Chains A and B, each alone.
Chain A
């Protein structure tokens, strides 16, 4: 006779980490930091054909205080750099960052005086998405990668 038969209601044994991570990974709230053409492609990711809500990440927040996934989509100029840094700092922990497209990841073809050569000079990046602009599938792929990363998270580490 198992332990479960001694209790009236059904129950499962799990860890806090699994429950929290399971909840988090299917309810990412993205903060879109769109500065160029990649942001237009992101509109395709959100709308019905590609439908980011299939992955639970459709609740796009325009306040960094309410978001846990920063999507940097587009060319980041040196003048924009302090703004991006501040937006990242304003997001509560835990938070993740996707760098979408060649520009955000490496400066792209803007190898010039005014463009930051990759946002990893400013903030930590979890997933880079290649392409100019990346296909919506690639962005969804990046969301899945973030979900994998979230599911490995240790809640204790955030305390």
Chain B
């Protein structure tokens, strides 16, 4: 299915939940809000004509400084692929501005695609967006004593962190593996 077709179909089926739809260079996306994220992504996966069985990546964007053209500060971006149909689609989750670190929350899509686990941990680590219902929401790239979320636009570029503590055993320290 062409991306334009997918976009139209999503807007027809889930029109109430789509805040915005857009296109750039032939790539289409829809913007949804956190309460409807599960329904939209679940439909994209379960509808046999869409069948998005692979979550390629989850990314974060901080739009601080773009208040003129955005009503929200953060976006969490889901890149989807259907292997069977060989088509792709992009869903963005708008996260409202004015929220403090840790208060920004999006439902975890870990139950839909297991691969979301580490990807969401990365977005949490770098942007401070909490994923509710995530089984192991801890930092993944930065060390545990790191303060702040470095890819936020308001993170001071030359801020220095204290050094990491030695880790006794990477595996047993992690509840996922212990």
* A112 within 8 Å of B (CB atoms): yes
Q: Interface residues of B toward A: which range?
A: 10 to 19
Q: B166 — which chain A residues lie within 8 A by C-beta?
A: 82-83, 85-86
Q: 0/1 per residue, B156-177, Cβ < 8 Å to A?
A: 0111110111110000000000
Given contacts A111-B158, A113-B155, A114-B142, contact A82 B164 (CB under 8 A): yes
* B34 within 8 Å of A (CB atoms): no
Shortest A114–chain B CB gap in Å is 7
* A20 within 8 Å of B (CB atoms): no
A31 to B156, CA, bound (A): 36
Contact at B164–A79, with CB atoms within 8 Å? yes
* B143 within 8 Å of A (CB atoms): yes
* B59 within 8 Å of A (CB atoms): no
Q: Taking CB as reference atom, which chain B residue is nearest A112?
A: B157
Q: 0/1 per residue, A114-145, Cβ < 8 Å to B?
A: 10110001100000000000000000000000
Contact at B155–A78, with CB atoms within 8 Å? no
Name B residues whose Cβ lies closer than 8 Å to a Cβ of A.
Answer: 141-143, 146, 150, 155, 157-161, 163-167
Contact at B164–A81, with CB atoms within 8 Å? yes
Q: B161 — which chain A residues lie within 8 A by C-beta?
A: 78, 113
The residue that B150 contacts in the complex, of A83, A113, A117, A122, with Cβ under 8 A, is A113
Shortest A94–chain B CB gap in Å is 24
Shortest B136–chain A CB gap in Å is 18
Q: What is the predominant secondary structure among interface residues of chain A facing chain B?
A: loop
The residue that A82 contacts in the complex, of B142, B146, B155, B167, with Cβ under 8 A, is B167
25 A-B pairs within 8 Å (CB atoms) are namely A78-B142, A78-B143, A78-B146, A78-B161, A78-B163, A79-B141, A79-B142, A81-B163, A82-B163, A82-B164, A82-B165, A82-B166, A83-B166, A85-B166, A111-B157, A112-B150, A112-B157, A113-B157, A113-B161, A114-B141, A114-B142, A114-B150, A117-B160, A121-B163, A122-B163
A86 to B165, CA, bound (A): 11
Shortest B76–chain A CB gap in Å is 21
